[in-house]
Each structure stands twice: as C-alpha cells, then as structure tokens.
Amino acid sequence: MKIGFIGLGMMGHHMVANLQKAGHDLVVYDVRREAGEDALGRGAGWAETPADAARQSEIVMTSLPGPKEVELVALGENGILHGAQPGCIYVDVSTSSPTLIRRIHQVLGARGVRVADAPVSGGVVGAEEASLQIMVGCDADLYEQIKPALSGIGDKITYIGEVGAGEVAKLVHNQIALVVQQVVAEALTLGTKAGIQPERLLEAIRGGAYGRSGGGVGPNMEKSTLQGDWDRPRFALALARKDLGLATDLASEFGVPMPLAAVAEQALIECLNRGWGTKDMTAIFALQEDRAHVQVRVPRPAEVSG
C-alpha cells in the first residue's frame, strides 16, 4: 500500500521501518527533516507538508505527541484536510482525545476521507519489534481495509468499536497503569521504611494473590525502576501526565468520578514542576521516595547470588 506517515519520533521512526520491511511504499513527513533520513535511505519519499503526504497516499498515518499536534496536522493550514483525496484513509496512532478524533472524522468525512483511531501500546521496544497492541476505532468494514497496514507495526490488533473507541480504550489502559504505579510506589516505600528488604517484599507480593493475578509488580522493576534508572525514558513522564489528563478530561465529559486518577494526576504535575518531564514515567517513585524519606533499591539482577 502507498502509506504517508507523519511523525518520526521515538515511536514513529520504528513504525516506518517496520512498514517498509512489510513491503509498503512510504512517504514521510516530520517537522525535522533529519528525523526522516533513515527512512529516506531505505527508499521512502519525502513530503514537504502533511497535505503533501496525504495527497500522495492511500492511507496517511500520524504518530504525534498529543491532541494539539493531531488537530494541527489533520485540520490546520497545510494539514491532511487540504491534501487527502476522496477515498483516502486517515489513521491516527497517537494517544489523543476521543472527542477530537470524532470531530476530525466528521470534517474529513465530509470530504470523502475515512477516519480511524488506532492508538498503540507497547512502548519503544514494541514499536521496534512490531509487537505493539493496537486498539482500533472505526467502521467495521474500514477495519478490514486498514488491518494489513496495522499488521506491519503490531501483532496484537483489537477492533474496539466506532471512531473514538480506540482512544477510550487506550486512555483507560494508561489510567490503570499510572494509578497502580503510584499505589505500588507508596506500598514499597512503606515496607522498606518499616525495615523490610525490597527484594523480599517483591517476593512476598508476587507470591500472594495480587501478585499472582498479574498486578503491577512485573520483573522489569528490578531492572529499572528499583535501580533509580529514570534518565533513559521508555515513556516520558510528560506524556504520562498528558495521557492521564486526557482520561480525567473524558471523565468530566461523561460525569464519571475518578478521585484516584485525580490524585495521581496531581502527583505527575508535581513531578513536572520539579523538571522531570523528560524522565521515564517511573520517576513517580522518586517523588514518593522524597516524601517518605526512604529509597527503595534492590541489587542489580546480575549481582544477586544463587
């Protein structure tokens, strides 16, 4: 398929590489031309604007930081709206606003352009390995049309429902992850300050009912979070705050009380005010450690003796 891809950041440039590996013909655009050099070296074309990318494509995809960027690229001056031809398909894989993608669906639909939201989960590793979970919102027949393209970037593709449903599912997913992360941080600082070695706490938790159910105490904690390894972001804290803010905005729109999410959002805002926006989202542990006046650390896995 002829695919236009807009947004070649940490996730997008891996997705483009995998679409090229899958045999698709790519034309790419980013505000930084240098971000597209690898794709161009593999044979992709360069678009001068989002409109130009859409004009050359059967499907145009966007991977962008958030709603502001999505709206600008889709509907702004030189946006997709001004280049997409009738019959073109627009697929947004960003984590964005369900309300916005539904409005874009209406605006582009009036021009004969079909729209799907397909936010992804799996982080940079998932993008690199083409093992992303993709949550798709669109008409059922459109889902079948875009699935060959989506299968180039992810191996777990789920049809959620009508336009906007994919974004709702992604926001719910991230809300759970971010709120549970802060609960785990509170609990581990409590146990550590009360005198228990963190590795023993984790052993007890993982062997109990909660841990065996697949709770938020996965094996990567020892490798990164409980090493204080927050300066190599797998998912930036600023993006986590954006996603949780979108979830609380959606809750306000539908009248759903979310007191725990609101508390978690305030903690993320406090982290941003400390200048931690570019750190990994697990830096929320550092905030809780500061509050509790204790550090939770375990020996690096290679240092643990048998």
- d(CA 225, CA 227) in angstroms, rounded, equals 5
Any idea what DSSP says for residue 84? P
Q: Are strands 120-121 and 132-137 parallel, antiparallel or unpaired?
A: antiparallel
- d(CA 254, CA 260) in angstroms, rounded, equals 17
Contact 30, 60 (CB under 8 A): no
Contact 80, 69 (CB under 8 A): no
- d(CA 136, CA 283) in angstroms, rounded, equals 30
Residue identified by tokens 């336009």 is: 163
Tell me whether residue 68 is one of the annotated catalytic residues: no
At residue 91, φ and ψ (nearest 5 deg) are: -125, 120
276 membership: H or E segment, kind and range? none
- d(CA 126, CA 123) in angstroms, rounded, equals 5
- d(CA 175, CA 179) in angstroms, rounded, equals 6
Q: Which of 2, 170, 193, 242 is catalytic?
A: 170
Displacement of CA 114 from its chain's centroid (Å): 23
Which residues are known to be catalytic? 170
